[in-house]
């Protein structure tokens, strides 16, 4: 049985502010913050407000081409025109989502795409450029429940957690 760890609103806001500060002090400034659907949409909107930067979204979780792969092609083209894009997700756990996004963005201009997450697993197959906090999945097996997920039925949260058993076992 997984351990469900709720991240309350105050902790979530603190994590967003940590990311905003890391972006503020960096010489690299994005033109847009891109929320990765589903888990990165809410953090991206908050980060957009915290930084004053515009936000866009890609609904990678739906796999509806117009909002996923086609949108990524259009975003990659924008980088070739000089725009910098910061993609935001809730957690970099296995690295699967970020790896797929990087592959889909292979035609993006080098150095014009970065990634930020609220939580970064140091064992992930992918690295992010900004993280509010880190975990080690060899030690921490908790399933993190973010404020926007907490409204879901407990069975749905358990089903999401069970999708990749190795993360929580």
Q: Give the pLDDT confidence of 105-127 residue by residue, as tens digits.
A: 999 999 999 999 999 999 999 99
What is the crossing angle of helices 41-51 and 9-25, to 10°? 50
- State the architecture of 4-161 in CATH terms: 3-Layer(aba) Sandwich (3.40)
pTM for the structure as a whole: 0.94
Token output for 79: 């980088």
Q: Is a pLDDT exceeding 90 seen at residue 64?
A: no
Q: Where are the domains of the chain?
A: 4-161
Q: Is a pLDDT exceeding 90 seen at residue 62?
A: no
Which stretches of 26-82 are DSSP H helices?
A: 41-51, 69-80
CA separation for the pair 151, 96 (Å, rounded):
25
């Amino acid at each position: 049985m997984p351990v469900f760890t709720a991240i309350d609103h105050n902790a979530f806001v603190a994590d967003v502010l940590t990311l905003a500060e890391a972006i503020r002090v960096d010489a690299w400034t994005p033109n847009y913050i891109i929320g990765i659907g589903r888990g990165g949409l809410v953090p991206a909107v908050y980060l957009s407000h915290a930084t004053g930067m515009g936000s866009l979204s890609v609904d990678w979780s739906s796999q509806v081409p117009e909002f996923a792969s086609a949108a990524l092609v259009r975003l990659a083209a924008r980088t070739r025109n000089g725009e910098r894009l910061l993609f935001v997700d809730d957690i970099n756990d296995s690295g699967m989502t970020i790896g797929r996004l990087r592959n889909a963005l292979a035609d993006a201009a080098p150095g014009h795409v970065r990634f930020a997450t609220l939580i970064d697993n140091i064992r992930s197959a992918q690295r992010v450029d900004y993280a509010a906090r880190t975990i080690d999945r060899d030690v921490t097996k908790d399933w993190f429940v973010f404020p926007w997920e907490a409204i879901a039925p407990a069975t749905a949260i358990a089903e999401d957690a069970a999708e990749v058993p190795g993360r929580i076992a």
